A and B are shown apart, each in its own frame.
Chain A
Amino acid sequence: MANTSTPKKPTAKKTVVAQNNGQAEKKQTGSSRIKVQKTYKIFINGQFPRTESGRYYPLTLSDGSIVNLCLSSRKDIRNAVVAAREAQEKWAARAGLNKSQILYRLAEMLETRSSQFIEELQLMGATKEAAINETETAIDRLIYYAGWCDKFNAIFSSVNPVSSSHFNFSSNEPTGVVTIVAAEESGLLGLISVMAPVIAGGNTCVVLASESKALSAVTLAEVIATSDIPAGVVNILTGTRKELLAHMANHMDVNAIYLHSNKAEEIKEVETLSALNVKRARIEFVSNWFEPKEENPYRIQDFIEVKTTWHPIGI
């Protein structure tokens, strides 16, 4: 932290010096306070458990410090999917306007925590300018999808002309539980650009955060936990794709998977395993998340199903 550089109690320090000459020199170089290390946890059902496996992986930050992040296992995915399934129906049943308000509220909370996101993005290698840009774009993107919650159904549904005496109309329903394998290169914006449209459409999700840029995802989880998003709607895990990708793709209780990848073997694995329960698989690679075209309602449409109803008339 920036505000801990000057020692507050010089008198106390002097006493230490007088008593123990051996350690005195070391302490004089900075604050004698021991920095409190944060335990980075995963986010399942509105709570912050450690990974069930008890494992972690170290991440070296740009200031030279090392943090430990949970190396989630397939059982964490299982627990997260149970939570997401439990939450899905209730989340989908909320009015579009209410979902709008909740997403907007999340954006408000992110705005007040923006300095932390900016700091963490820098710790993960971004320049200050890039970090500010990414954080601000991410918040704006959330606001953008908040606006769509109660509008997308109007533009993606239709009344269809049919040549029989039926009133025929199509409306949208959420796909269900979606696993998201978020962009590796863009820890905050890449995650929010995918997560926001998924939940705006009434789905719930289990996110595997970027492995090398995971701090933003953990902090986002902390913001979500104190926002109005119900428990289980968003679940965030940290870990490796190599280990978890198969389980995110083959889980029978998952209705769709989003994979951000340009690696042939990952794409093949997800496509093959998704076929098991005919999961919807949306696979893409976005090289620049800042582009305006990455902000569009069709991202909501990717995770909705169309239900068409034939209603007899004139009988």
Chain B
Amino acid sequence: MYDTPNSTEASVSQTHIKIAARGVQVHYGEKHALKDVDVDILDKTVTAFIGPSGCGKSTFLRCLNRMNDTVSVARVSGEILLDGEDIYDKRVDPVQLRAKVGMVFQKPNPFPKSIYDNVAYGPRIHGLTKSKAELDEIVETSLKKAALWNEVKDRLQETGTGLSGGQQQRLCIARAVATAPEVLLMDEPCSALDPIATAQVEELIDELRSTFSVVIVTHSMQQAARVSQKTAFFHLGNLVEYDATQTIFTNPKDPRTESYITGRIG
């Protein structure tokens, strides 16, 4: 229904490279926040970014949909290809890019609107629907995907800020899903949630993998181990190691990775 042109191509191969980053550097004013990062993010895969605070993992995530553009002192160099197209090319409109690469933030940030309008926000601004019935359907499927439908189906017109923290975060995920992105970026989506809500969101991430490529930044190594197939370890602005999650957690090649996952640094 709201399939994007790339999804047919993507379904051909499960290991198709969705995003390819080469030599990415980020400066925040004087600070060199990210040094020479090369990563290939696969389609229909959950990729986890782990590392101690200030290691550059969130910075790199925000490069992937050019959210760093809104920070005036940030300067990004290097090359990031989404389906082979440079997203930092002058011809690329960051607004269109962000419609394809959605984002869920650390703190739930529902708009001060009704639950329905929160989810319908993306489809409306991108003109994804022709009729009210179609929009209703998108709202319903998105809320179902975010495992929130049963809790809110009778109060869609109530304000989204009145939900509990975990419900708010799932609403934000539903909101991102409704825009039909190809990649979903999640910046510590569970840090403000209790264990039950965390479990629900993690389950959700696993389901979303069938449709999108998901990139998640997390402070919890258990969470990375539970939800991801690929893991990248960042340390002091460097990408130290990037491999299958299993390998990173059982057989890390770099001593820094080993120290971090065994709890000796970070």
A binds B: no
* Chain B interface (Cβ < 8 Å from any Cβ of A): none
* Chain A interface (Cβ < 8 Å from any Cβ of B): none
